Every structure is written in C-alpha cells, then in structure tokens.
A and B are shown apart, each in its own frame.
Chain A
Amino acid sequence: MSRPARILVVDDEAHLADGIRENLAAEGHATEVAYDGAQGLRAAESTPFDLAIVDVMLPGIDGVELCSRLRRAGIQTPVLFLTVKGAPEDRIRGFEAGGDDYLTKPFHLQELLLRVAAILRRSRWYEASPDALEFGDNRIDFRTYQARSWDGAAHSLTHKEAMIVQALAERAGEIVTREEILDRVWGYEVFPSTRTIDNFIVRIRKRFERNPEAPLHIHTVRGVGYRFTSEAEASTDV
C-alpha cells in the first residue's frame, strides 16, 4: 500500500467513478469524485490534490481540455487519463495537454493501483528534492515552476521540464541515461520514445544555455544520455 494521498476522480460514469473511489479509499487514499468536467475543474482549482484521475470523454469540458486549463492556471497536479480511445494520436493529445499517464478502459484494477502508486512515487520524489537550482546565472524554482535565465528573461516551465532538470541535477556530474530519465519522469511505461527526451533537452537548453549549440551545463553523452554540471564546462561531445 502506498502512502495516503488526496485524489480527485472525474468521470461521468457514476458506477466506475464510485468503484475507483472505493478502491482508492481501501488503499488509504482520501478521494473526491466529480461527475462532469466543470465540476472536476472547480474541485481541482479549489483544493490541492496529489493526483487527478480524469476520463477523457466528459460532458461539458472534456478531460484533455480540463488538464490544459489546469496547466494554464499554473496547477501542476499530476493527471492520469482514463479513456476508451487508446490510439497513439489520442495518447499524444493527452500528453501534450500536460497529462502524466494514460490508461485505456476497460482496465485491470491492479494496473490502475500500480499506476497511481507510480505517479505518487514520482511526485513525492520531486517534492522531496531541493526547492531551487542555481547554475550559470540561471535560477529555477521547482515549487513555482518559474525560472530566470542568464539574460534576465523569465520563464515558466512545464511539470515535465522541471522534472527532467531535477533528474539531471540530483546526479550532477554523472551520466543519466535517457531510459533513466524516462523512468524518473514518465514512469515504467516508456512513451513515446527516448527521442522525446532529446526534444525536451533542446527546449531547456534554448532557455538556460548561452549558446544552445555549445552547452556548458547540460551535456550530451552521445548514444547514452545527458550529464549536468552546475559549473560551466566545455562540452566534448554534443
């Protein structure tokens, strides 16, 4: 059993939503249920939750839109999508909106509980790590997701971007493989490929490296992964 958490379930299928609540309660979690998108959004905005389990097809505001609105409002509650649509493009749409995981209906109860535990574990790892990171005149606040770069520009990071920086920073000086980053940030389900990490790194470098083509802090280790150094260090392999 994982540590108790506050979980919001948003699903218009009352039986399913209640079934999930009962099971999460049996695992020791405090669970609240909303039966439509608007109700779910109000609940997520007014109360801090450790996780939201959201059906994609909802009356009014759909699940993906709900997640987008939460992210736009700066609420970084992890979102696990439930859906009858399991096509790759549906999954990509969910992840692009800031979703953390995806489970296709009908699902197995054990799988749902495992995924919930994995997301909570990742969130707790993130919360337990330092509040801020400073390197090369950059400052990232991991609590507010706000950052100021070397040129004085202010940036808002996504939850995933912040987690990737943290995964690299907690092992500063060491090589962190793409698979390790995926495991840390996305969990056991590898989605969609390790190339995803590369795209995130490009975005992070553009903000915090003086010359993203010749990075001084986030170094590529070709064919393996990345290495972070808080002190500026010329890259030998980019």
Chain B
Amino acid sequence: MIKRDPSRFLQLGFLALLFLCVLQAAWWISDNIRLTRDIEEVQALAGDSEIEAELAELSEGRVNRYLWEGAFFLVVLIGGMAVLTRTLRHDTELRRRQQNFLAAVSHEFKSPLASMQLAAETLVLRSGDADSIRLGQRILEDCERLLRMVDNLLDTTRIEEGRHPIRAEHTVLATAVAAIVDSFGERAARHEIRIEQRVPTDLALPVDREALATMLRNLVDNALKACIAGSGHRIEVAAERVDRRTRITVSDDGLGFPPEESHLMFEKFHRLGDEQTRRTPGTGLGLYIVRRLADLSGADVTAASAGPGQGATLTLSFRDEGAR
C-alpha cells in the first residue's frame, strides 16, 4: 500500500478545472457571437433601414467586444494551464531527482560507515590489545548511532513521500521482538541495563515485518536512551491480547517525562527538556517514525509516565482486524 501525495491530486484537479474553464470560455464566445448574429438577422427582416444601420453598428461593436474579451480570457486561461503544466513537470522532475538524491545519500553515508565499522570490528576482533579493543568499541558505538540517524532520516523521507510500502505477513511476535532485543544486547550490557522479554510464543500478527522491526527498534532505542540518561537498569518488552487487540509495550525505569507531555512524545522533532542541557542524544525522529508506521499498519501508539525520573511505558496497539 503506497500513500499518494494529496497535493499532486490537487494540482491535477486544478489542471482539469482550468481545462474545463477554457472549454466553457470558448463555448461562451461562440454562443454570444451566434446570438448577436441571430438578433441582427431578425432585425434586418423588420425592414427599417435607419434602425438597421444603427443595430448593425451596435452588433458589430458587441461582436468585436466579445472577441476581444473572449480572446483575453482564453489567453489568460491557456497561459495558466501552461504555467501549471510546467509546474507539474518540474515537480515530477524534482521528485525523480529527490529519489536519486536519497539513493545517493543512502549509498554515500552507508558506504563509509560500513568501512568504519569494519575497521573498528577488525581492531576489536584481531588486535588483542586492551586499548585498541576499548577504542574500537567506542567507534563501533558511534557508528551504530550514526547509522540509526541515517536510517531514521531516510525512513522519515520515505514515509512522508508516501513511498513506504506496507506488506502484511504472518509474523510471530516473539521472534520479531527477540531479533530486535538481541541487536541491542551489547549496548545494553555496556550500560548495565537488562532487557527482558515477555512475549507469548503463540502470539502472531499479520503485519509488515520491516515496519514492525523499525517500530520496535525505535521504541527499544528510546527506552535505552532514557535508561542511560536517567540511570535506569531495566527495560521490558511485553506483548498480550487485550480487548480484542494485540498490545506491545516497551517499559523502562529511566528518565520518564511529565504526564502532560505524553501527547507530544510522537510529534516530529519533539525532544524532552532544553536543547542546551539535554541528556539524551538523538534527532527527535524515532518516535515520530513509530507513529507514522503505526498509522500505516493500523495500530495506535500511546506514551505514559508517572513523571520525570519514574520511567515510561510506550504502547503499540494493533486493532482487532489486524490481530490473530
């Protein structure tokens, strides 16, 4: 399912409307000319030569006026259509270039990242020297962070352009959650944070696997950052069937947030606190991506916290028709 850009429909609609206007103006001109000629003929039949001459002059003037007015409108309308057609073409070209740019950015960012990651992993795996291993791990951690940021930027652009396809597939939640939790294992261990999973093995959903993985990755990443910044030590990823819905919750005992800010948590670029004194890294896109992907997947997202320093629970709730 690809969502189309509504502004494009608006442009095409406007172009169709202009086309109709052109047809209508042409019809109006020809109709008025015909009407004037008809009147002229009727009055000619009446036979008064003086009135006849006066009317002929009048009618000639009207025809000329209609022609000039009509021609003016037609020129304006055709000019408008030309401008709009050009804009549409330009827009299509811009989209094509943007897509190429995204592919290029993806390649240009990820290739050096892949090279840096390989060099750091080679140090960690083969150097045998404690300092090299420590420094290699530090580079790896920053590589992962950069990669997540690049992925988030690319995901945001794809979603907002309506180019994020959703293909629902039967997905076992326990497997999907375990894969994501595993990928955070080392980072969590470095900060002495335990990630627990409480997902029944028989729970499955028809959901786009890539979208689910992205949502879970961003939720766990958010919890991990909250724990690191708020000295938390425990994250729990749980899933259950409640009221004919399938709910996935990610809870942490980290930073938390003021309850009145819960509605802002999934807003684009929203980040907690003041930018100068902020304790968590990031761009404010992760949870926004979660909300947009949840919308596309037929799920709701909510955030709850008892207050700063008291942890938070973020919930993904898949509506009934999606649950199995």
Measuring CB to CB, which residues of chain A are less than 8 angstroms from any residue of chain B?
13, 15-16, 19-20, 22-23, 26, 57, 84-85, 105-110
For A82, give the chain B residue with the smallest CB separation.
B114
B106 pairs with A16, CB closer than 8 A:
no
Bound CA–CA A15/B111 (angstroms): 10
Q: A13-B114, A84-B107 are in contact. Are A106 and B147 (CB under 8 A)?
A: yes
Whether, in the assembled complex, B249 has its beta carbon less than 8 Å from a beta carbon of chain A, the answer is no
Q: Which of B107, B115, B126, B147 makes the CB contact (< 8 A) with A15? A: B115
A15 pairs with B119, CB closer than 8 A:
yes
Residues of A within 8 A of B2 (CB): none
Q: Which of B106, B114, B125, B126 has the most CB of A within 10 A?
A: B114
B residues 102-129 touching A (CB-CB < 8 Å) = 106-107, 110-115, 117-119, 121-122, 125-126
B119 pairs with A106, CB closer than 8 A:
no
Residues of A within 8 A of B174 (CB): none
Whether, in the assembled complex, B143 has its beta carbon less than 8 Å from a beta carbon of chain A, the answer is yes
A110 pairs with B125, CB closer than 8 A:
yes
Q: A13-B115, A19-B115 are in contact. Are A106 and B122 (CB under 8 A)?
A: no
Q: A26-B126, A84-B106 are in contact. Are A109 and B111 (CB under 8 A)?
A: no
Return A54 CB to nearest CB of chain B, in Å. Answer: 14
Q: Which of B112, B114, B119, B122 makes the CB contact (< 8 A) with A107? A: B114
Q: Which of A19, A106, A107, A109 has the most CB of B within 10 A?
A: A106
For B146, give the chain A residue with the smallest CB separation.
A106
By size class, the interface of chain B is 10 to 19
7 contacts between A and B (CB under 8 A): A19-B119, A57-B107, A84-B106, A105-B110, A105-B114, A108-B121, A109-B118
For B125, give the chain A residue with the smallest CB separation.
A109
Bound CA–CA A187/B112 (angstroms): 29
A106 pairs with B110, CB closer than 8 A:
yes
For A20, give the chain B residue with the smallest CB separation.
B118
Bound CA–CA A80/B125 (angstroms): 22
Residues of A within 8 A of B115 (CB): 13, 15-16, 19
Bound CA–CA A109/B112 (angstroms): 15
Residues of B within 8 A of A110 (CB): 121, 125
Return B155 CB to nearest CB of chain A, in Å. Answer: 13
For A113, give the chain B residue with the smallest CB separation.
B125
Inter-chain contact count A-B, CB under 8 Å? 50
A16 pairs with B111, CB closer than 8 A:
yes
For A89, give the chain B residue with the smallest CB separation.
B165
Q: Which of A20, A26, A106 makes the CB contact (< 8 A) with B113? A: A106
Residues of A within 8 A of B107 (CB): 57, 84
Bound CA–CA A19/B147 (angstroms): 19
B79-115 vs A: 1/0 string, CB under 8 Å?
A: 0000000000000000000000000001100111111
A109 pairs with B121, CB closer than 8 A:
yes
Bound CA–CA A19/B117 (angstroms): 10
A13 pairs with B111, CB closer than 8 A:
yes
Q: A15-B115, A16-B111, A106-B117 are in contact. Are A23 and B147 (CB under 8 A)?
A: no
Return A82 CB to nearest CB of chain B, in Å. Answer: 8
Q: Apart from A16-B115, A19-B122, A106-B117, what are 11 other A-B pairs with CB-CB below 8 Å?
A: A13-B112, A13-B115, A16-B111, A16-B114, A19-B115, A23-B118, A23-B122, A57-B107, A84-B114, A85-B106, A106-B147
Residues of A within 8 A of B122 (CB): 19, 22-23, 109
Q: Which of B118, B125, B126, B147 makes the CB contact (< 8 A) with A16? A: B118
Bound CA–CA A16/B107 (angstroms): 13
Bound CA–CA A13/B118 (angstroms): 12
A105 pairs with B111, CB closer than 8 A:
yes
Residues of A within 8 A of B110 (CB): 84, 105-106
For A17, give the chain B residue with the smallest CB separation.
B115
For A12, give the chain B residue with the smallest CB separation.
B111
Bound CA–CA A109/B114 (angstroms): 10
B121 pairs with A84, CB closer than 8 A:
no
Bound CA–CA A23/B143 (angstroms): 19
For A107, give the chain B residue with the smallest CB separation.
B114
Bound CA–CA A37/B147 (angstroms): 27
Residues of A within 8 A of B112 (CB): 13, 15
Q: A26-B126, A106-B147, A110-B125 are in contact. Are A84 and B111 (CB under 8 A)?
A: yes
Bound CA–CA A85/B154 (angstroms): 12
Bound CA–CA A115/B111 (angstroms): 20
